[in-house]
Amino acid sequence: MNEEQSEQIATDLAIGSNVTQQAAQSAQAQYHLQEQERNLAEAQLECNTTLVNLYRQLKQDQMIVKDDEITWVPIKDEKKKRYTDDGINRIMELMSFYVNKENLLSNFSEEQINAIMLRFRLAFSANILMRYKVYFRQPSTEECQAIFKERIKAKTDLKMFAAKMVGKDLDEKEVSNKLLKEYENRMEYELDKIRDEKKKEMLSEFELQFEQLSQIVYATLNRAFRGEERGSIRRHTNISEVIGGSSNQQKPQGGNFFRWGKK
């Protein structure tokens, strides 16, 4: 083997090493690209965050931000709760039926989306009105009694203030007892009235909640308008394949690593 052949072999070996290194780098880049593509697809189809946030909202958990970290604390005052546990579970069961990756990857026309939304709103609102006792927490007798006492106290304070303004001297206990006497024969009616008022308050609160739930479903269905969501994932996948294919098709410039062996 002469000096020229030795130099050629060294050159070809260097080129071969460079090709191997480029192939390894290309494979690594392709792997990272595929991982990014997979993470992107999972992020696009991930619905758990939406459902978890909705669950916390229905539970009325309080968000606390400390040192840039978010924690959720259950509501302490039971009287402020709007929904029962059964009601929350039923709403979550319903929303999980609409907010999922299967619907995201569907192919809906505008007419289909409108029809689904109409059926959803009509069926859900009817179910709420027919079974509101299942969905909404009913105030206990003790809560109604406490509200009634607060109202008697407020009326007593008002009468005492009015008497003081005109120079009259009234006994607060006597005023309170007189008011209670007026309600003595219709106490049950007053407590039922308070319970009915609380029910109407909860239903009025749900009107806003109903719109929020409808918007979540509508947004999910719109992402599947004409198969846009799966089309978006497919486009990302095609880009990944093109980039990966281009990397794999790179050819070394210069000599042929196996050329010396054929001489």
pLDDT tens readout for residues 27-85:
555 544 444 445 544 555 577 888 999 999 999 998 888 887 888 889 888 888 899 99
pLDDT over 80 at 188, yes or no = yes
Q: Which range of residues forms the domain containing residue 187?
A: 79-229
Question: Regarding predicted confidence, which is higher, 240 or 26?
Answer: 26
183 lies in some domain: yes
160 lies in some domain: yes
255 lies in some domain: no
141 lies in some domain: yes
Displacement of CA 232 from its chain's centroid (Å): 22
Q: pLDDT tens for residues 149-166?
A: 999 999 999 989 998 888
Tell me how far apart the alpha carbons of residues 231 and 173 are, in angstroms, rounded to a whole number. Answer: 75
Question: Which contacts (CB < 8 Å, 24+ apart) does range 107-110 have?
Answer: 107/224, 107/226, 107/227, 107/230, 108/221, 108/224, 108/225, 108/226, 109/225, 109/226, 110/225
87 lies in some domain: yes
**Phi/psi at 72 (5° precision):** -115, 130
Number of structural domains in the chain: 1
239 lies in some domain: no
Q: What is the pTM of this model?
A: 0.65
212 lies in some domain: yes
Reported as a pLDDT band with limits 50, 70 and 90, residue 16 is low
The two tokens of residue 179 are: 């008011």
The two tokens of residue 111 are: 């007419």
Q: Residue holding tokens 């006597």?
A: 174
pLDDT over 70 at 123, yes or no = yes
Buried b (16+ CB within 10 A) or exposed e, 172-198: eeebbeeeeeeeeeeeeebbeebbeeb
Residue in 148, 155, 134 with CA at minimum distance from that of residue 88:
134
pLDDT over 80 at 232, yes or no = no
CB 236 within 8 A of CB 37: yes
146 lies in some domain: yes
